């Protein structure tokens, strides 16, 4: 077993900070993955969650590698927020449409007019949302664990586990009680509006100077 007293105090603090930041920032990824996967038939749901987690992990690694360059780009946060808003709009339209069970029933009756959410649509939504949210996550975590790469790796692992477990629980709940998906959508809408708000104040000095 690892003796914690052997670890430098700064590293322990960094790990604690990363745990808290990841709990806060992996939450929105988990909700969006759960929302997108909930519209799929049970057989494809776990695959969609896996795609979401892999995409989020790859994106976080890629963004972490170029975190300094990303910080220098003005308007990135605003663009990410708008992208997320578009995902919200797509999810809103899907929620207003027939549920997965209704679609299954209609397909059994050979009713070709009922739209069916595909695995590709769900995966695409998850990846687009992951791009927006991973940007925010990496910049925050990289700031806390700059001098402690092990804390960064630990944080990445933790967020993968958290996203996978949380998204599975949420997808299971939303599939059974569809109205709760509106609450999930409201959470993602809040994240998108907050990103747009922060992004606007970031570009404001450059635009109105």
Give the footprint of other proteins on this chain (CB under 8 A): 9-10, 12-13, 16-17, 20-21, 23-25, 27-28, 30-31, 140, 144, 165-166, 169-170, 172-174, 176-177, 180, 183-184, 187, 190-191
Q: How far apart are CA 53 and CA 63, in angstroms?
A: 15
Nearest-approach distance from CB 141 to other proteins, in angstroms: 10
Nearest-approach distance from CB 77 to other proteins, in angstroms: 16
The residue (of 17 and 44) whose beta carbon lies closer to other proteins is: 17
Nearest-approach distance from CB 166 to other proteins, in angstroms: 5
Q: Quick one: 172 exposed, middle or buried, by C-beta within 10 A (0-12, 13-18, 19+)?
A: middle
Residues 6+ apart with CB under 8 A from 158: 18, 19, 22, 26
Q: How far apart are CA 131 and CA 103, in angstroms?
A: 29
Q: What single-letter DSSP state applies at residue 6? A: G
The residue (of 24 and 73) whose beta carbon lies closer to other proteins is: 24
Q: How far apart are CA 145 and CA 107, in angstroms?
A: 51
Nearest-approach distance from CB 39 to other proteins, in angstroms: 15
The residue (of 20 and 107) whose beta carbon lies closer to other proteins is: 20
The residue (of 150 and 190) whose beta carbon lies closer to other proteins is: 190
């Amino acid at each position: 077993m690892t003796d914690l007293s052997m670890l430098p105090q700064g590293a322990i603090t960094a790990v604690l900070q990363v745990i808290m930041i990841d709990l806060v920032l992996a939450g929105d990824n988990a909700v969006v993955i759960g929302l997108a996967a909930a519209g799929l038939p049970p057989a494809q749901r776990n695959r969609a969650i896996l795609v979401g987690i892999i995409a989020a992990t790859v994106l976080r690694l890629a963004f972490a590698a170029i975190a300094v360059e990303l910080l220098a780009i003005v308007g990135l946060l605003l663009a990410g927020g708008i992208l997320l808003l578009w995902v919200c709009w797509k999810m809103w339209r899907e929620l207003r449409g027939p549920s997965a069970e209704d679609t299954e029933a209609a397909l059994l009756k050979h009713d070709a007019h009922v739209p069916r959410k595909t695995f590709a649509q769900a995966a695409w939504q998850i990846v687009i949302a992951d791009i927006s949210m991973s940007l925010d996550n990496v910049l925050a975590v990289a700031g806390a664990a700059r001098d402690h790469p092990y804390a960064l790796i630990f944080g990445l692992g933790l967020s993968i586990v958290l996203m996978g477990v949380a998204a599975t629980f949420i997808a299971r709940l939303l599939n059974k009680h569809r109205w709760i998906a509106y609450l999930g959508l409201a959470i993602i809408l809040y994240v998108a509006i907050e990103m747009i708000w922060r992004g606007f104040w970031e570009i404001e000095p450059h635009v109105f100077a």
